[in-house]
Amino acid sequence: MRAATFNRTRTKTRHGFALLETMAGFAFLAIATGFAVQMHQSGQLFDRVSTNRLERQLAIENEAQRLSLIAYEDLTGVVEQRDPNSNIQIQIEPFETDSRNGVHLTIQTSVHSQTLQHHVWRMELDQ
């Protein structure tokens, strides 16, 4: 009889999880979820910054392409007539090499405190 009592108490082991184990599991899950959300948000911010940078870079390259199609004689006037409140700034600097004149255009904009630039050199046509 004594053996039967011993087996009966031994089979009364715990089933399920204790409150402390459940709380530790939820705490781990909450911390892991927090890290995952933070990584997702930083990835979205990186994507947004990269997209803005690419958009601005394409805008100044498009402006450079547009200015390369304008006649040399009209270039200074077109640059001076641009909207001063535009996101793109253009500086024009004349230069001279040997017997030819030219202009150096610096097209720039800023995105997230970084300056993006594009340079265009135009030479006066021989007459």
What are the extents of the domains in the chain? 19-123
Which phi and psi angles does 120 have, rounded to 5°?
-135, 130
Which pLDDT belongs to residue 39?
A: 97
How far apart, in whole angstroms, are the C-alpha atoms of residue 57 and residue 94?
24
Mean pLDDT of the chain: 86
What is residue 61's DSSP assignment? H
Locate 16 and state its tokens. Answer: 């399920």
Per-residue pLDDT, 80: 86
Whether the predicted pLDDT of 73 surpasses 60: yes
Enumerate the H helices of 1-111 as residue ranges: 2-10, 19-68, 72-80
> Model-level pTM greater than 0.85?
no
Kind of pairing, strands 100-111 and 89-97?
antiparallel
